[in-house]
Amino acid sequence: MNIVDTIMISTKSNFKTASEAFDYMYIKIKNKGVDFDNTKALFNVGFYIHNPSDKQIKARYRKWNKKYAAAEWAWYLSGDPNISKLGELNGSIPPIWKRMADGDGVVNSNYGYQWQRRDQLDKVVNALRKNPSSRQAAISIYDGKEIHRYGHDTPCTYAVQFSIIDNKLCMSVYMRSNDLWYGFCNDQYQFASLQEMVADRLSIKTGWYYHHAHNLHLYNDKI
């Protein structure tokens, strides 16, 4: 199967939980993905998670570490882009973050740092308080003005957008690239936690979480 054919592949688009989405997409990529830079990949994959607060990944073959995901969330909340802070919170720094950090230990993919800069998160909350039908409740993660800083670490996420639908906070996450094994499992935890936090500030419940990746993939050693 070539890359063009993958664009035509139909994938399931509605899941109850992130774990259900992971199980389905793992099999789909394994069976239908194309070889692409040491991975098997699908392109332009989008799906809804209807109970995003159930963030536990329960696949038997994937020993997901909730304790680490919680430490990463605390790191995001700190707004500190230095991996040393993650080390303090987690007890150690995962090798992948060490590879991504610059000479000062700073990464661009601490999404908490990204959504706190220029008061983006507060502006989202204020926009939705002022007008629950606002289409301006969006956070920019990937910043074109900072491309010169992306040598070691280019954020995988472009943007996050929020909408209040039927008095519930719905959220869409848009990613340029997403590794299903590590990236999605931890990213869904962080973004679902963000959705819960914003909903709490608005005193409403969470609705669906939509996840879109231009390139959703598995590295060959995880297949």
DSSP per-residue string spanning 82-134: BHHHHHHHHSS--HHHHHH--TTSB-S--HHHHHHGGGHHHHHHHHHHH-TT-
pTM of the predicted structure, to 2 decimals:
0.94
What's the rounded Cα separation, in Å, for the pair 16 and 24?
12
Which pLDDT belongs to residue 158? 95
Distance of alpha carbon 41 from alpha carbon 202, whole angstroms: 37
Residues whose CB falls within 8 Å of the CB of residue 124, separated by 6 or more in sequence, listed in order: 137, 138, 139, 162, 198
Q: What is the mean pLDDT of each run of 10 residues along the chain (223 residues)?
A: 62 96 97 96 97 95 95 97 98 96 93 93 98 98 75 90 98 98 97 98 98 98 95
The dihedral built from the CA positions of residue 200, 12, 110 and 57, taken in this order, carries a sign that is: positive
Q: What is the pLDDT of residue 147?
A: 75
Whether 155 and 114 have beta carbons less than 8 Å apart is answered as: yes
The domain spans of the chain are 3-222
Fold for domain 3-222?
Answer: Thymidylate Synthase; Chain A (3.30.572)
Residue type, 96: I
What integer pLDDT is reported at residue 88 of this predicted model? Answer: 98
pLDDT given at position 143: 79
Please report the pLDDT score of residue 8 as a whole number: 58
